Structure 1
Amino acid sequence: MSFLRCYRLIKLGGKIMIPLSAKEKEKLGHLYVKYSRLIWYVSVRIVRDEGLAEDMTHDTFLKVANQIDSVKAVEGIKTKCFLITIAKHLCVDYFRKMKAKKMDYSYNLDSLLDQAPLPLDQVCQNERDTALHNALQSLDEDYQEVLYLRFVSELNNHEIAQALDITPEYAAVKVMRAKKALKKALEAYNAKYGDEQIF
């Protein structure tokens, strides 16, 4: 779907809450041209349906149009992660709505309590999350990007290659190097913050 078609559909849907200036339309156009294919790949991996993935891509850019002020630059890992996060949330919301239609709302308290994490488990998980976040932040932006695509967006090397316009072989090499760099960063974190290994 072209950006103009996407923008026309957004306008026809009447879902843009804030009218866009010419500059904002241009920014939205650049975002669409740069990231629409990636957003579609992320969506199709989650929903497993090409048509539905196209709808999710459209809805992602609709949401971005309403939050265009929060996008400071078209290029960069933060913008890419912002768009991917919106797409993933939309896909999850879609499944949640579909599940709610079929779901029986007869939960009992015991089953809910059984699913709650123990306090010590929660503390350990928080420590792991902090360590992982700090280690990731210490990596080059290229490594952060490829790890995000591989493990958060769950793209395979071929899909990463298509998203980044590189060969699948080079995508595999980048993933391997990024994992090694992350491992070193986690080891450094473990050495700095205690004898106990977090990972």
Structure 2
Amino acid sequence: MFYNAVESQTDNTPLNAGNPVDFKKIYDASMMMLFKICYRIVNDEEAAEDLAHDSLIKANEKAIVFPSINDAKYWLIRVSKNAALNYVKRKERERKAYEKALYEDHRKSESGETDLLKKESVDKAREALKKLPEHLQEVVILREYTELNYKEIGRVLGITEGNVKVRIFRAREQLIKLIGEENVFLPE
């Protein structure tokens, strides 16, 4: 009896993140996707896992009621993406402060250009992605790494599907300019 009730539950059934059964459904449906998004932004597995878990914990602690599993995913994507972007900004500030304090008078012998030429194409793609404006980065990350369609990306970002398509096009054009047309491959 219970098995059939669970099986017949539709995608539009409200879910309370504070309820352990509903929370498990939300967790199972979104954790891997949240991890991938965070990892692509922070490039650190432990930090990505922590950020994804923090987003889920936030929903659980606030006992947010989502109209559907997709609404839960969209909310969690937004929260985890913002947390990951803030993490990267904080780490960059920390790195700059550290370098300034310890290496003010030291000169680097190799240029950034020399290092860039030594890296593989995956590293080139990641670096090029980081050079894009934030609004273009986020659509590429959501499209390429979470397998969301344009409509879903629009819901996550609060923009129209047409605007998503325009941003994807502009992001790809800028990537071509940054790394060349034959090298526009994003890392897995």
TM-score (norm 1): 0.42
Greater RCO structure (CA 8 Å; 6+ sep): 2
TM-score (norm 2): 0.44
